[in-house]
């Protein structure tokens, strides 16, 4: 059995851990609120963009001249998986669940004889994907310097992806991220970026707009922006999910540390009691022997 | 005077949402002013100054690319970047010019014309602030 001193030290160390996890939880809660506000603020733009793109894309879907970003290359041989994760750990299953979803899909694609290319955003996802798909990794976007997620971050990623697409490096691009439902539920999601898919709103009758310049020009101008908006929305969702996952993970850790302290304290008191009893017995039996 | 709903949103936030009497928009095919009961128009933006008038209140914003949706009852501007003119500095515009120039580097053909127009439109902003 561990000595009293050892037990005391362990209790102190667990108490220190509990303080850290408690602090991390509170920091995550504050950051989560900010991330949620940012995601909320970005929503009107994304919604509006989707509606307009839905109308435009619906109109030109069948035509021969539809832009490649919308119509695709006509093949689906080479797939680009963009795996967006966080830069830091200690956030529960957040990173692993995204990586797992991407891994399952990548294996499926490989089994079907397709070529898979992987672009990672965030350090944690890269580490996990590298284990199995090291030779499929083509690039990595480092977000560790990014303090506050901005539209320009999404722009950099989207421009890179579009440049690769125009160079014919892949046919289909899908982004993997985690959708924020609530603090306890983040759903790993795959969203196809190229060829772009927009859900045309069937109910809302599209008003008869005058298009200036023509419909096709507007579509060509807006497609890259719509793609950037999708990437931006995914990154924002991811940021909120990360903080949510970290908050609940740290909440659990704090609770576990509390339980451990209780257990260790009981053990400590018991052994202290035993030691005292032992000493008393020794003194009494010593006195009796005289 | 009749008013209409005006919204100005950028990807990061909503900058304005108010009842406006008229909005002057830098469209890619030329400037135009939208007022209540304008016929529905959908057009792209060029870098320029957007002026919103609500009664006697006038507010101005620097906008870069994006698009505008005008309907008889509402005008929504979705700008890639938008800042109130009062907050825009020469440094900010110079940054935009640098972005536009960087975008022009790897293009050719008709895209180059578009990129060059963006550069000159952005340069013109320097005189406006």
**How many whole angstroms separate alpha carbon A128 and alpha carbon A258?**
31
Over 70: is that where the pLDDT of B14 sits?
A: yes
* Percent of chain A's residues with pLDDT above 70: 94
pLDDT in tens, B67-124: 899 988 999 999 988 889 888 888 888 888 888 888 788 777 777 888 888 888 888 8
Instruction: Compute the mean pLDDT over every residue in chain B, rounded to the nearest whole number.
Output: 87
Chain B hits for A67, CB-CB cut-off 8 Å, are: none
**How many whole angstroms separate alpha carbon A136 and alpha carbon A276?**
65
C-alpha angle B119-B121-B126 in degrees, rounded to nearest 5: 95
Annotated catalytic residue A91: yes
Question: Strand pairing partners for B54?
Answer: B57
Q: Are strands B14-20 and B66-70 parallel, antiparallel or unpaired?
A: unpaired
Over 90: is that where the pLDDT of B51 sits?
A: yes
Interchain proximity B43–A213, CB inside 8 Å:
yes
Structural domain count, chain A:
1
Instruction: Compute the mean pLDDT over every residue in chain A, rounded to the nearest whole number.
Output: 89
* Of A197-206, A266-275, B14-23, minimum mean pLDDT range: A197-206
Shortest Cα distance, chain A CAs vs residue B78, angstroms: 7
**How many whole angstroms separate alpha carbon A163 and alpha carbon A157?**
10
Segments forming the whole domain that contains residue A108:
55-247
- CB-nearest to B12 from A41, A48, A222 is A41
**How many whole angstroms separate alpha carbon B3 and alpha carbon A22?**
53
Shortest Cα distance, chain A CAs vs residue B30, angstroms: 10
Asked whether residue A86 is assigned to any structural domain, the reply reads yes
- Is the distance from CB of A190 to CB of A105 less than 8 angstroms? yes
Instruction: Output Rg (C-alpha) for chain A, integer angstroms.
Output: 28
Q: Are strands B41-44 and B48-54 parallel, antiparallel or unpaired?
A: unpaired
Over 60: is that where the pLDDT of A4 sits?
A: yes
Asked whether residue A233 is assigned to any structural domain, the reply reads yes
User: What pLDDT score does A18 carry?
Assistant: 96
Q: Is A54 left (phi over 0), alpha (psi -120 to 50) or beta?
A: alpha
What residues of B are in the A interface, CB distance below 8 Å? 7, 9-14, 27-29, 39-44, 65-67, 69, 71, 76, 78, 80-81, 106
Shortest Cα distance, chain B CAs vs residue A135, angstroms: 29
Interchain proximity A222–B44, CB inside 8 Å:
yes
Angle in degrees, 0-180, between the axes of helices A151-166 and A215-289, rounded to the nearest 10: 120
Interchain proximity A212–B28, CB inside 8 Å:
yes
Q: Which of A39, A84, A91, A119 is catalytic?
A: A91
Over 80: is that where the pLDDT of B63 sits?
A: yes
**How many whole angstroms separate alpha carbon A172 and alpha carbon A15?**
50
Over 60: is that where the pLDDT of B6 sits?
A: yes
Q: What value does the mean pLDDT take over residues A225-239?
A: 92
pLDDT in tens, A69-102: 888 888 888 999 999 999 988 998 899 999 999 9
Interchain proximity B12–A38, CB inside 8 Å:
yes
Domain residue ranges in chain B? 4-85, 89-128
Q: Is B84 left (phi over 0), alpha (psi -120 to 50) or beta?
A: beta
Chain B hits for A207, CB-CB cut-off 8 Å, are: 40, 71
Over 70: is that where the pLDDT of A64 sits?
A: no
**How many whole angstroms separate alpha carbon A111 and alpha carbon A60?**
34
C-alpha angle A186-A232-A129 in degrees, rounded to nearest 5: 60
- Is the distance from CB of B96 to CB of B79 less than 8 angstroms? no
pLDDT in tens, A19-48: 999 999 999 999 999 999 999 889 889 888
Asked whether residue A77 is assigned to any structural domain, the reply reads yes
Q: Which CATH number fits domain B4-85: 2.40.420.20, 2.60.15.10, 3.40.50.1240, 1.10.510.10?
A: 2.60.15.10
Cβ-Cβ contacts under 8 Å between A and B: the total is: 75
pLDDT in tens, A126-137: 999 999 898 899
User: What pLDDT score does A187 carry?
Assistant: 93
**First vs last Cα of chain B: how many Å apart?**
30
User: What pLDDT score does A206 carry?
Assistant: 59
B2, B93, B107: which is closest to B47 by C-alpha? B93
**Interface pTM, i.e. ipTM:** 0.83
Q: Are strands A137-141 and A115-121 parallel, antiparallel or unpaired?
A: parallel
pLDDT band, very low/low/confident/very high, at A204 (cuts 50, 70, 90) = low
The enclosing domain of A120 has a CATH number of: 3.40.1380.10
pLDDT in tens, A151-188: 889 988 998 999 899 888 999 999 999 999 988 889 99
**How many whole angstroms separate alpha carbon A190 and alpha carbon A65?**
28
Over 90: is that where the pLDDT of A104 sits?
A: yes
pLDDT in tens, A47-62: 888 888 887 877 666 6
Over 80: is that where the pLDDT of A256 sits?
A: yes
Place of tokens 């509606």: A51
Q: What value does the mean pLDDT take over residues B44-62?
A: 91
Nearest CA in chain B to A224: B66
User: What pLDDT score does A243 carry?
Assistant: 94
Q: What value does the mean pLDDT take over residues A207-234?
A: 85
> Distance of CA A176 to CAs A81, A117, A149, A159, Å?
7, 13, 17, 17
């Amino acid at each position: 059995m561990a000595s009293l001193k050892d037990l005391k030290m362990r209790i102190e160390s667990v108490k220190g851990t509990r303080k850290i996890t408690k602090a991390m939880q509170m920091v995550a809660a504050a950051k989560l609120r900010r991330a949620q506000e940012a995601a909320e603020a970005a929503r009107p733009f994304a919604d509006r963009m989707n509606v307009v793109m839905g109308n435009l894309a619906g109109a030109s879907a069948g035509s021969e001249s539809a832009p490649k970003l919308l119509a695709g290359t006509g093949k689906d041989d080479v797939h680009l998986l963009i795996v967006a994760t966080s830069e830091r750990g200690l956030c529960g299953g957040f990173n692993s669940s995204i990586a797992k979803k991407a891994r399952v899909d990548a294996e499926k694609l490989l089994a079907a004889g397709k070529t898979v290319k992987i672009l990672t955003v965030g350090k944690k996802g890269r580490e996990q994907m590298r284990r199995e798909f090291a030779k499929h990794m083509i690039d990595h976007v480092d977000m560790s310097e990014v303090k506050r997620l901005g539209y320009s971050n999404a722009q950099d990623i989207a421009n890179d992806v579009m440049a690769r697409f125009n160079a014919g490096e892949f046919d289909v691009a899908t982004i993997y991220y985690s959708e924020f439902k609530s603090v306890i539920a983040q759903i790993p999601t795959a969203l196809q970026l190229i060829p772009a898919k927009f859900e045309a709103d069937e109910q809302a009758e599209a008003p008869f707009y005058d298009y200036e310049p023509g419909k096709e020009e507007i579509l060509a101008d807006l497609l890259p922006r719509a793609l950037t908006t999708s990437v931006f929305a995914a990154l924002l969702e991811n940021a909120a999910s990360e903080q949510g996952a970290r908050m609940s993970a740290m909440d659990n850790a704090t609770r576990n540390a509390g339980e451990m302290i209780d257990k260790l304290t009981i053990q400590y008191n018991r052994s202290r009691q035993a030691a005292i009893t032992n000493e008393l017995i020794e003194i009494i039996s010593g006195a009796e022997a005289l | 005077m009749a008013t209409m709903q005006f919204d100005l949103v950028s990807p990061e936030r909503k900058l304005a949402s108010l009842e406006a009497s008229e909005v002057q928009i830098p469209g890619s095919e030329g400037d135009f002013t939208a007022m209540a009961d304008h016929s529905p128009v959908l057009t792209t933006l060029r870098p320029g100054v957007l002026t919103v008038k609500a009664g006697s209140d006038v507010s101005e914003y620097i906008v870069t690319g994006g698009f505008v949706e005008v309907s008889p009852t509402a005008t929504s501007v979705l700008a890639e970047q938008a800042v109130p003119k009062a907050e825009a500095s020469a440094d900010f515009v110079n940054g935009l010019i640098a972005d536009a120039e960087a975008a022009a580097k790897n293009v050719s053909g008709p895209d180059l014309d578009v990129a060059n127009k963006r550069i000159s439109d952005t340069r013109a902003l320097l005189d406006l602030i």
